[in-house]
Structures are given as structure tokens and as C-alpha cells.
Structure 1
Amino acid sequence: MTAKSKTKRTKMKRSPQERIGLFIVHVICITAGVLTVVPFLYVLSGSFATEKELLERSFFIIPHTISTNAYKYIVADGSIFRGLLNSTLVTVVGTVVNMLFTTTLAYPLSKSWLKGRNVILNMVVFTMLFSGGMIPNYLVVKGLDLLDSYWALILPGAISAFNLIIVKNFFQELPGELEEAAKIDGCSDLGIFTKIVLPLSKPALASVGLFYAVSHWNDFFNSMIYLNSTEKFPVQIILRQIVLLAQGASADGSAIDFGAGGTPPEQAVKMATTVVACLPILCVYPFVQRYFEQGVMVGAVKG
């Protein structure tokens, strides 16, 4: 019996109650998808709309007049490109550091025979509940002479307790027989970790790596506190400055001429900055989506 015939036979066996339930599930999923996508479409459309249309129409998906004034205003001085490079650098280096420290700590903690394992785990969990606060963190960064450097955005959060526990639990679920067989073949502990454990943990590592990358990309508060040089500002700080400048220009009437759209579109600038901030991460997500979905389902089904 072919797979197609089996599928048809399964559909024929469904009771009316099952069909109604399946229909309701599909409706709920479609509704949730629409509610999720529509706000993004509105922001994207609004970034290409004129200020007049944004004020006159409360909601739309396709603007009547296509205007690139908001994006012209964002790229006018070129600082946005420097901010994108800075954010990319911090995100890439920061994610590599995060994954290096997280995996190397999670692997030994996944072994029940490790002495002092519970003490270390309790210390990790303690950091999830309590933190030193903003001022002690600033004093630590200052004491380590990390102010106004990219390392101030990377090293203080090198390990996330939540992500560490996720990776540790995944390592614990891997069959111990694989490591025992590798040891019999003469593989070292480092070889087991790099050649067996990490390749088998791609779903969990992809999920945690995406969490770290998004956190670094969206980082705004730490950059505002620890960085002083404007040439080191990430894209989030640059976008904030652009929005504030657009608001000031619209308020005092000192805006430059942008053609048919008139003054710098304040609301459209806000939407355009949102698009610019989200677009790089959205471009990366399709490459890790397969592993991300597997990582989310880790531990969901047993047996």
C-alpha cells in the first residue's frame, strides 16, 4: 500500500467530531498567523507612506502614494551603515563567545559524576533570581577597564543561566553509550565533545545561538551606558538618535525638503527604523529555522 493510499484511508476513517476539531485547529492557526503577520505588514507599508497618509488613515496595508522619504532621511548622513557594521560585529563575536562559554560549562555540568556539580548548578540558578543591579555592574565593567569598548557589551553576559540549563539538559539526553564507544576507540574528552556531542546537539545549539544573537542585536540599554564614542554606537542607538532628530525637525519646522512627501515623515521614520532593525535578523532566521524548530521540540515527545 502506497503512502498516498494510506493518507486517503486515514482521512476516510476520521469521524465528524475529528473533522470539526481539525477544522477548528486550522482556523485558530490561520487566525494566529494573520494576527502575527498583519502588524509587520502595516509597519512595512507605513515606512513607505507619506506623513499625510499616516495621519489620515488609521490602518492600511498598501499605501496610496509610495514614498521613500523615511529611508532617505535615515541614510542621509551615513551613520546608519556604521551602526549596522558595529551591531554585526558585536552580534557575531558576542554569539561566538556566548556559545563557547555556554557549551564548555554545560557539558561537564551534564555529568552526574562531576564533584561539586550541584553547588555550581545552584550558583547558576541563583543568578537567574538575583543580580547585582545596574550600579554594581557598571562598577565591575569600569574596574575591568572595559568602558567604551565592545567587550563591555559581550563579556558581562557571556553566559545566560537560562540558555546554559537548556544546553545542559540537552547534553544529558544524549546516549552515554556513544561516549563510551568513543573512549574505547581512543578518543579524548575534547574529541568526544567536538566530534560527537556538538554535532548531535545542532538543534539545541541553533536555538540557543539564535537567542543570543537576537539579544546582542537588540541590545540598547548596555550600549547607552557603557559606550561613549559615537563611532562605536550600534544600530539601535543610531536609530534612536534618528527618530529623535526627526521629531525635533518636525516640531520646529527646520526640516529639509523631501519632495512630494514634504517634511521628514516622523511616523514613517519610526516605522522605517523598525524595519531596518528587524530585517537583518529576519534574513538570518531562514537558515536556522530547521534546527530551531527541532530545538523547540526537544523533550516534547518521549519514548
Structure 2
Amino acid sequence: MTIKHSGFDRFLLFINGVFLTIAVLLVVVPLFYVVVASFLDPSVLLSRGLSFRFSDWSAEGYRMILTNPAMLRGFGNSILYSVSFAALTVIVSICAGYALSDNRLKGKGLFMTLFIITMFFGGGLVPTYLLVKNLGLLNTIWAVIIPGAVNVWNIILSRTFFKGVPLELKEAANVDGATEMRIFLQVVLPLSKPIVFVLALYAFVGQWNAYFDAMIYLDNTSLHPLQLVLRSILIQNQVEPGMISDQLAAAELKRLSEIIKYAAIVISSLPLIVMYPFFQKYFEKGVMVGSLK
């Protein structure tokens, strides 16, 4: 079926295409620059900028990062924190969302009100730090994982999604003698893959890019995530001790720090790039279903 557009509609479609093209270029051009720059010889990058001659390319930045114990340790810590945080966030969100979606829960309106209040009002940094300290979580991985695991927005998404699950399915399972836990695990949860994957993706990406909590709560450098190491390179324009030889001059340090910046950005983005295609088919469905009501 061919759709005929009026002149005004074609004008709007053209304007929309122009804005979308600009938006894509704003994303693709910097990404392309970073990827190409990460493979260039540092001297070529500093003197001439981007070059597409293979003779000017070098993997020195990647070699230095992949042989750096601090960077590898930070990469492993980030994976541990992100996976653990995503798992805990998903468990808390779907359990709370499922309970709040049941009309039989007494006081669910009060619970939702209390949850929503926390979206607008918080204790602040100092009380949160004192709480984490008094709980004995400082300089432990739990200081990074536990405080932000309860996300009210994720709970609301889960609650709205579970409200869309047909009540007849749960009633049929109940007639067959299934307990509430069995109904949740064997009937409702298998239908909830979209929202589970969306929440996991949100939590993983948020924790992977986070560094502030680790900077506040973790004094032990062996527990620092990759983003803290990357922050040292990008913001402080420094290279972590042990990444290069002590005999290098200041000019050589600056030359190498430039190429390491781009290689570190690419490496830190790889898990998200690899992970997203597997979650994509659930992403749109989970977000849309969770935001209908």
C-alpha cells in the first residue's frame, strides 16, 4: 500500500531526516575519531592528526593497557561490580514490582507513596557516607553494589509490566494447586524476559560507567573499577604507575598518555558494544510494555 504525503508532510519528513542525520553524525564522527586514533602512532596523532596510512598505525596503546596490571585489575573489578549490581537490582526490582502489582497486597498505596518520595528527597552524600561507614561497608565491594541496588524507577517499570500479565494464567495455576512462589517462578517469570533484560541492561550500563561511589567509598586501589583508572588518564592527564618505564622523559609520558586515552575508551566500551545486540530484541518491548499504564 502506497501512502501519499502532502507537500507539508514531505517537508516535515525532510526536516526530520536532516535532524536525524545530524544526530547520527554527532555520535558516529567522534566514535570514528576515537577508534582510528587509538590505532595511530602517538607521534603521528600529535603532529598530523588522523591518518589512514597503515604505516602510521600502531597498537602500542593497546599493548600498554593490556600489559598493565592496574588496568586489567580495574577491568575485572568493573565486570564483577556491574554483573553483581545488575543481578541484585533485577532481583529486588522484579520481586518488589510483582508484589506491588497484586491487588491483594494491603497497603500497597502507602508503599508506593514511600517509594516515590525517595525519588524526590534523599539524605545527601554525608548521611549516606556515614551510613555506609557504620554498616562496615567501606573498602568492600558491597559499598559499590548495595547502596544503589534499589531503584524506584525500575520497581515502577516492573510493577507496570506485571500488571499486564493475564490474571487468568495465575488463577489457572492456583486452581492446579501451585503456591504463590511457584506461580511467580514458573508462570510469571518466564513471561518476563523483556523487562528482566531491560532492567539488567540499565543496571549494568549504569554501574559500568559509574566511578563516583567507588571514589568515595574505596581507598584500596586494588578494588578500584576501570572507570577510576580511566578517569586518571582522561581527566588528570596522567598514566598510572607501572604503565611505562621510569626512564621515560616528560615529553614521552605525554606522547604515550595521548594514545592510551583513546585505547582505554575503546576497551572500556567493548562490553557494552558486545552486550547490546543480545539485549536489543527485548529492549524496546520491555520499555514500551513497562510504560503503557
- TM-score normalised by structure 2 residue count: 0.85
In structure 1, the partner of 2:268 is: 277
Match of 1:39 among 30, 40, 56: 30
Aligned residue pairs, count: 285
Retained in 2: the 8 A contact 1:256–1:264?
no
Correspondence 1:233 to 2:224: yes
For structure 2, list consecutive stretches of 5 or more residues without a partner in the other structure.
none
Cα distance in 2 for residues equivalent to 1:48 and 1:180? 59
In structure 2, the partner of 1:173 is: 164
- The letter of the residue matching 1:97 is L
Correspondence 1:71 to 2:62: yes
Match of 1:183 among 165, 170, 174: 174
User: Structure 1, residues 67-101: CA drift from partner, whole Å, max 9, x if none?
Assistant: 22322332343221111111111111111111111
Percent of paired sites with the same residue: 37
Cα distance in 1 for residues equivalent to 2:52 and 2:101? 52
User: Structure 1, residues 240-259: CA drift from partner, whole Å, max 9, x if none?
Assistant: 3345464699xxxx7738xx
- TM-score normalised by structure 1 residue count: 0.82
* Pair 225,276 (structure 1): closer, same or farther in 2 beyond 3 Å: same
Q: Where in structure 2 are the equivalents of 1:101-250 lying within 5 Å?
A: 101-243=92-234, 244=236, 246=238
Retained in 1: the 8 A contact 2:232–2:239?
no
* Pair 33,140 (structure 1): closer, same or farther in 2 beyond 3 Å: same
* Pair 189,301 (structure 1): closer, same or farther in 2 beyond 3 Å: closer
Retained in 2: the 8 A contact 1:69–1:264?
no
Cα distance in 1 for residues equivalent to 2:190 and 2:279? 15
Match of 1:100 among 91, 111, 123: 91
For structure 1, list consecutive stretches of 5 or more residues without a partner in the other structure.
1-9
Cα distance in 1 for residues equivalent to 2:70 and 2:47? 31
Cα distance in 2 for residues equivalent to 1:218 and 1:126? 26
Retained in 2: the 8 A contact 1:74–1:242?
no
Cα distance in 1 for residues equivalent to 2:240 and 2:145? 33
* Pair 74,115 (structure 1): closer, same or farther in 2 beyond 3 Å: same
Q: Secondary structure at the match of 2:248?
A: coil
